[in-house]
Amino acid sequence: MTQTEIWTEKYRPTKFENVVGQHEIIKRIKSLVQAMNIPHFMFAGPAGTGKSTLALIIVKELFGEHWKENYIELNASDERGIDVIRQKVKDFARTKALKNVPFKVIFLDEADALTREAQQALRRTMENYTNTCRFILSCNYSTKLIEPIQSRCVMFRFKLLEKKDISEVMKKISEKENLKLTPDAFDAIYEASEGDCRRAINLIQATAAISMDINSDMISMISASAKPAGIKVVLDYALAGDFINARDKLLDVMLRESVSGSDVIKAIQKEIWTLQIEPEIKVRLTEKTGETEFRMIEGSDEFVQLQALLASFVLAGQGKAI
């Protein structure tokens, strides 16, 4: 097998024993896998906590060398329509497993991005092909999946990785890649990763592309350069009452950084607490921000909801009631 150059792949664990964190989940899944029969699984939890990794380990343990023929992985956030379910999923699910394996496995990543219509189709598919196929669904929020799907799965809730978990992975990588990390670099990586192991590994590889000796300043520099910059500028314009400029800058940031509305909301929510405004107003703005996030899920045009939020910042900037 050729060695991959991308560290998130190179250092992806291939055995249950090597996965960091999620010990309870692994214990339970392991015993199900050893019995050679698994139910449908739902893995709920934040990004970079081991959902895809575990799915891969499960099929490798179940099917050994034949795992590739009996496994597909689809990402619902890239292909979220009903077509994916009707065509790819159904076609794969309805044919029998190959090479003496009892069933196939479909891993549907970010399943919460599926449209409702697609979820309905998925529900039927899960029922109809239960003899030939098992599903592993991953999602950030299980509540975005319709009830009948949730009830067909055994649910596991993944937690954000702790500092010791991330540090363990970083230590292993730095040994294999001959990197020298200062102790505070570990802190900085964990801070920037926010418990997301994929981000942590990407961060260390990006930094290693510049230097083999890594300290916390370098980590902060690299992670800052990759953050959706400019949200602060947007809010400053809004607070100063210049709505049109705030709006233009917001669109620029979103397009330039390819960030979605919910990423912007997250950034705004954090930024509020660093602004020079009355604490009572910060609380009100946070409430508005949360409300906006909710409305974005309901509506069809995120940017309109964000503009409504910016209008609240204009009021806040003048000390007016929001």
Partner 1 sequence: MHHASYAEKYRPAAYADIIGQETAVEEVKRFLKEFPKRKGLILHGPAGTGKTSLALAAAKESNYEILELNASDLRNRAKLEQIVKPAAEQKSLFKKGKILLMDEVDGVTGTDIGGVPELVRILGTTKYPMIMTCNDVWQSKLSPLRSKCKMVEMKALPLSTIITILRDVAQKENLDKEISFFSQLAIKSQGDLRAALNDLQSHFHEDSVVDVTEKRDVEQSIFNILRKLFKERGDFLGLFDTTKLSLDEIFLWIEENIPREYRNEALARAYYALGNADVFRGRIYKDQSWRFLIYQNIFQSAGISYAKKVPVQNFTKYEAPKRILKIWLNNQKTMQKKTIAKKYARMVHCSMKRTMRDFDLLRPVFKKESVQKQLKFSPEEIEFLAK
Residues of this chain that interact with partner 1 (CB under 8 A) are 2, 4-6, 8-9, 47, 52, 56, 73, 75, 77-78, 81-83, 86-87, 109-110, 115-116, 198-199, 202-203, 205-206, 209-210, 222-223, 225-226, 241, 243-244, 247, 251, 255-260, 263, 295, 298-301, 303-305, 307-308, 310-312, 314-315, 318, 320, 322
Nearer to partner 1, 33 or 251 (CB): 251
Count of other CB atoms within 10 angstroms of residue 11: 19
The CB-of-94 to partner 1 minimum distance in angstroms stands at: 13
Q: Which is nearer to partner 1, 198 or 282 (CB)?
A: 198
CB of 133 to partner 1, least distance (A): 19
Shortest Cβ distance from residue 35 to partner 1 (Å)?
Answer: 26
Angle at which helices 302-317 and 279-298 cross, to 10°: 170
Distance of closest approach, residue 209 Cβ to partner 1, in angstroms: 4
Cβ of residue 286: shortest distance to partner 1, in angstroms? 16
- In this complex, which beta carbon is closest to partner 1, that of residue 62 or of residue 254? 254
**Distance from C-alpha of 257 to C-alpha of 227, rounded to nearest angstrom:** 9
Dihedral, 52, 53, 54, 57 alpha carbons, nearest 10:
120
The Cα–Cα gap between 262 and 298 comes to: 12
For residues 27 and 96, which CB has a smaller minimum distance to partner 1 in the complex?
A: 96
Q: Which lies closer to partner 1 via its Cβ, residue 1 or residue 35?
A: 1
In this structure, the dihedral spanned by the alpha carbons of residues 283, 289, 293 and 294, taken in order and rounded to 10 degrees, is 50
Between 35 and 255, whose beta carbon lies closer to partner 1? 255
Residue placing its CB nearer to partner 1 in the complex, 232 or 320: 320
Compute the least distance from the CB of residue 105 to partner 1, in Å: 14
CA–CA dist 230, 154 (Å, integer): 42
Cβ 244 to partner 1 shortest distance, Å? 5
Nearer to partner 1, 10 or 102 (CB): 10
Closest separation in Å from C-beta 81 to partner 1 = 8
